Structure 1
Amino acid sequence: MVPNVNTTPVTGRRGVYWRTGLCLALLAGAGWLLRRQWPTVEHGALRLAVADQGWLLVAAVAAVGTWASSALAQQGAVARRLPGGRLVAAQFAASAANHLLPAGVGAGAVNLRFLMRCGLPAGRGASALAVKGAAGAVVRLVLIALLAPACPGLLRMPPVSVSVPALLAVIAVAAAVVLFVLLMRARVWARCRSAVAAVVADIRALHARPVRAAALWGGSLAFAALHALVLIAVTRAVELSLSPARVALLYLAASGAAALLPTPGGLGSLDAALALALTASGIPAAAAASAVLGYRLLTVWLPLLPGLLVLGLLVRRRAL
């Protein structure tokens, strides 16, 4: 008789290897692009250094609000009441961890550990994270649909001249990704069906409680709106001639596109998408670089070390 061998750890480890390898490749590409565009980035940094301090303060306040709105959305995705202070601290720590691990793995792990410490089983915690993620995606799509008619032609892709080697490289990467998805589809689909059923059941249960539904959707809306406000305030600080609606639409579209690439916190992918979106709307490259640098400085680099310290403190106090 052939023994029953559990291959889940092996297949899970292979998935981690695939994601890590793809993440490193994308980061290497981002580093190469940064090196080529360094004069533009340097000029953008100098422009940011003399930006309007009042608008930068508005952007900083909006960035702080993103963690509170994330906590509100997470509370809305869970039926039981969570400790408010620790919940906000967990979101702050999760945002820092998210910039160290690929494709939301860091934030998901921190939030899952927090929910389990609050008494939720692992399956329920994962379902709550999926509910929160689904609500956030729906809110972003609705906001794009509402803003797109007010900014006609803004989301049209600009003409790009691509060399033959670059085009072949893109085709090869796309083919590899499609092949990997096809190979993994049968195994993943069996797991996804039960996961989707659990998420749908949780969504129905939460919407039977209006307070939880309001927290879920209100927190998700506030999270996306506050991130857009950070970028809007930074563009005002560096005196870019774009309306708030256009900046918000560019942010939502760029962040949605960057989410398809598994880099830590959208590092490289979101920066490139935002810069491309701003320059495609007629903004000079150096000015677009200053706006992107300001947005990333307030949402990533300045909170990173304090977030990691909060993460260590939560682990030490066994809140994670």
Structure 2
Amino acid sequence: MSLLPLDDLPTAPPIALSSPSSPTVVRLARPALTLLPLVLIGAWAAVDWPSVRDGAARLAAADPWWLLAGILFTGLGWVAAACARQGALPERLPPGPLLASQFAAGAANHVLPASIGAHAVTLRFLQSRGVPLARATASLALYSLVKPLAKTLVLIVFLVAFPDMLRLGELVPEQWTLLLAAGGVLLGPATVSLLLAVVRPLRGPALGLVRTALTDARLLHTRPSRVLALWGGAAAGPLLQGSVIASVGFSLGLPLSWAQVVLALLLASTAVGAVPAPGGIGPVDAALVFTMAAFGAPMDLATATVVGYRVLTVWVPLLPGTLMLAALVHRKVL
């Protein structure tokens, strides 16, 4: 019996390492992600339909010019958010796609609580632009830190500029409310510290994130353009948001000044802004109605103003924002 040379030995066909169905899963994943925002928006609309109907009925009888001003301030709010996002990152981002991503992030932000939706969209956008994950995450952390600090500075400026406007006796919360708010503020750092102490593998990435964030923060604050974009955009956000509320209120005949409405928003969002509700809807709305009523607005008119404001800033741009989100996912920008 003769032996065959090694080169003539039959070879077995290569073993497929991937499942035959994996290309199909990949092909179906992106259309599913494209349609998922529309499904979530439809479910939310079904649950919150009475508010949409009542708000639309109120706005139908409002002054259209003031409503147009409210729409303009709403659009400028996305520009301010885009400026703040750019200011939190050393790399230069294309203005058009960045603004489109923030418009889409606004729709995602109204579905998930605590700005998770907006941060997720922004993180995907930054990664698609080639920003490393550590730096992109650090920019989100810096943005999240500067935003409340800038709002607090704006609040202090309003309190100094309008000292007679604040009625402390009517606006200071009860003791249990203050304790609950303090507990909510301390819960986040305590939870993070506990996780880092218990789960050792998280320590390395967490320390790396902190080092990257501190390095980028020092670098950004040596560039005047980044400082202006970051802090200016963060400070302009609540002012533009208050201007939207004031425009809706003026269209309905709200007997408050612009400064009173903006101060009411700053106080309400500072008091209950830490409550993880989608887009701040719910706790902030109730606190805003109460604060405007404490400033002298009729309760029903303050409620109508807040409902109309939510229709103008949530429901009017929600469908275009969701379509923009789906388009960005489809074009692999996200």
Normalising by structure 1, we get a TM-score of 0.76
Alignment correspondent of 1:135? 146
Alignment correspondent of 2:25? none
Report whether the alignment pairs 1:186 with 2:182. Answer: no
Aligned counterpart in structure 2 of residue 254 of structure 1, from 252, 263, 268: 268
Alignment correspondent of 1:156? 168
> C-alpha displacement at 1:107, in angstroms?
0.5
Report whether the alignment pairs 1:52 with 2:99. Answer: no
> C-alpha displacement at 1:260, in angstroms?
0.7
Q: Aligned letter for 1:254?
A: A
Cα distance in 2 for partners of 1:177, 1:85 equals 36
Deviation per residue, 1:62-113 (Å, 9 max, x gap): 0011111111111111111111111001000101001111111100100001
> C-alpha displacement at 1:192, in angstroms?
6.3
Distance 1:160 1:47, change over 3 A: farther
Aligned counterpart in structure 2 of residue 266 of structure 1, from 280, 286, 291: 280
Deviation per residue, 1:196-242 (Å, 9 max, x gap): 44323211100111122221122222222211111111121111121
Preserved CA contact (<8 Å) 1:228 1:248: yes
Q: Aligned letter for 1:54?
A: W
Deviation per residue, 1:22-59 (Å, 9 max, x gap): xxxxxxxxx9xx99xx9xx95x7654432211111101
Distance 1:224 1:181, change over 3 A: closer
Distance 1:180 1:236, change over 3 A: closer
Q: Aligned letter for 1:135?
A: V
Moved more, 249-258 or 190-199: 190-199
- After TM superposition, the structure 1 = structure 2 runs for residues 274-293 of structure 1, keeping only pairs within 5 Å, are 274-293=288-307
Cα distance in 1 for partners of 2:248, 2:231 equals 26
Distance 1:148 1:304, change over 3 A: same
Preserved CA contact (<8 Å) 2:119 2:140: yes
Secondary structure of the structure 2 residue equivalent to 1:266: coil
Q: Which consecutive unaligned segments of at least 5 residues does structure 2 have?
A: 1-46, 198-202
Preserved CA contact (<8 Å) 2:137 2:209: no
Report whether the alignment pairs 1:110 with 2:121. Answer: yes
- After TM superposition, the structure 1 = structure 2 runs for residues 1-320 of structure 1, keeping only pairs within 5 Å, are 46-149=57-160, 150-152=162-164, 154=166, 156=168, 158=170, 185-188=193-196, 195-320=209-334
Preserved CA contact (<8 Å) 1:254 1:270: yes
Moved more, 67-76 or 192-201: 192-201
> C-alpha displacement at 1:184, in angstroms?
5.6
Q: Aligned letter for 1:248?
A: V
> C-alpha displacement at 1:60, in angstroms?
0.6
Cα distance in 1 for partners of 2:189, 2:222 equals 36
Preserved CA contact (<8 Å) 2:107 2:318: yes
Q: Aligned letter for 1:271?
A: D
> C-alpha displacement at 1:172, in angstroms?
9.7
Preserved CA contact (<8 Å) 1:103 1:259: no
Q: Aligned letter for 1:298?
A: L
Secondary structure of the structure 2 residue equivalent to 1:106: helix
Distance 1:176 1:45, change over 3 A: same
Percent identical pairs in the alignment equals 40
Cα distance in 1 for partners of 2:254, 2:290 equals 15
Distance 1:91 1:157, change over 3 A: farther
Cα distance in 2 for partners of 1:184, 1:284 equals 43
Cα distance in 2 for partners of 1:274, 1:177 equals 20
Deviation per residue, 1:249-274 (Å, 9 max, x gap): 11112123332111111121221121
> C-alpha displacement at 1:187, in angstroms?
2.2
Count of residues paired in the alignment = 279
Normalising by structure 2, we get a TM-score of 0.73
Q: Aligned letter for 1:200?
A: L
Cα distance in 1 for partners of 2:58, 2:180 equals 38
Distance 1:66 1:181, change over 3 A: closer
Preserved CA contact (<8 Å) 2:256 2:296: no
Secondary structure of the structure 1 residue equivalent to 2:332: coil
Cα distance in 2 for partners of 1:158, 1:195 equals 43
Preserved CA contact (<8 Å) 1:228 1:251: yes
